[in-house]
Amino acid sequence: MRAVQTVKQIRESLNLPRKSSQAIGLVPTMGALHAGHVKLIETAKNECGFVVVSIFVNPLQFGPSEDYAKYPTALPADLEICRRNGADLVFAPSVDEMYPVPQLTLTDVSRVSEHLCGASRPGHFRGVATVVLKLFNIVQPDRAYFGEKDLQQLAVIRRMVRDLNVPVEIVGVPTVRESDGLALSSRNRYLNPEQRKVAPALYRALEEASKHVRAGERDAAIVREAGLRVLHQEPSIQVEYIEIVDPEEMQPVVRIDRPIRIAGAIWIGSTRLIDNLSA
């Protein structure tokens, strides 16, 4: 496995696999890799002859008061995880390599970015879509792998690729969870032991809401309330949102008359956690 830092190096490293017609899979990450990322790498490895993992904490997708400066980094451990799980190439560029001049061309996937995390993180999905489109142009993969944990991100990328005729197949990978339901996230590292204990309430809340849908409830407000009740039992949790949305455009629904997604975001202290379930 090679690890490279520059666009020139990665393009050169991809000449051979491209010549030999191997399918190229890309797994974009921000590093601090965990078993959720590993699942993406494994899925890519099963479907592609050559797997590229990118590791880049993208400043463009963080707001001014967000955790860019303290986002966990662990490059040596990340490289080892990539190597052990069959990645062929790691692309870990610097900020200057990705943004040598101010980025004036930005990718806005309107509407899909409007609600859920988009409402509280203005510009976040513009930053995500822009960096992912850059990575697609740098790597030119056949397929790219994204976690369903970041539901709205996946919807934004799917729509961007569709709207802009980007020749990359987007593959969604189911969320990997701890045994108590907590979705794995690099940000779980911020939680102290007490906070870690209450964190699975988000999953339980989504489960409770989804149980109401399975039992036949069609009123989204009632389903949402069922989820909120679980979260309100934990005084250390601040709820940012629980929403019932359609799976393509992430628009809130009123009546549940087709498959939907239940998404939530909470704060525990200064740590923000998100999760979602289908129903």
Using rule CB under 6 A, residue 30 touches ligand AMP: yes
Among 176, 191, 273, 279, binds ligand AMP (CB under 6 A): 176
Q: Which stretch binds ligand AMP (CB under 6 A): 36-44, 191-199, 217-225, 266-274?
A: 36-44
Pick the catalytic residue from 37, 115, 124, 212. 37
Residues in Cβ contact with 146 at an 8 Å cutoff, skipping those fewer than 6 apart: 28, 40, 153, 154, 157, 170, 171, 172, 173
Phi, psi at 40, each rounded to 5°: -65, -45
* Coil vs helix vs strand at 253: coil
Among 42, 142, 150, 207, binds ligand AMP (CB under 6 A): 150
Using rule CB under 6 A, residue 81 touches ligand AMP: no
Among 146, 156, 200, 263, binds ligand AMP (CB under 6 A): 146
Using rule CB under 6 A, residue 61 touches ligand AMP: no
Question: Distance of CA 266 to CAs 23, 168, 184, 235, 245, Å?
Answer: 38, 32, 15, 12, 17
Number of residues lying near ligand AMP (CB under 6 A): 17
Q: How far is the CB of 68 from ligand AMP (least distance, A)?
A: 13
Positions in 186-205 near ligand AMP (CB under 6 A) = 186
How many alpha carbons fall within 13 Å on the CB side of residue 40? 28
Our answer to whether residue 37 is catalytic in this structure is yes
Using rule CB under 6 A, residue 175 touches ligand AMP: yes
Question: Distance of CA 44 to CAs 12, 17, 124, Å?
Answer: 21, 15, 26
From the number of C-beta atoms within 10 Å of its C-beta (0-12, 13-18, 19+), residue 90 rates as: buried
Spatial distance between the Cα atoms of 83 and 34, rounded to a whole number of angstroms: 14
Using rule CB under 6 A, residue 147 touches ligand AMP: yes
- Footprint of ligand AMP on this chain (CB under 6 A)? 29-30, 36-37, 39-40, 146-147, 149-150, 173, 175-176, 183-186
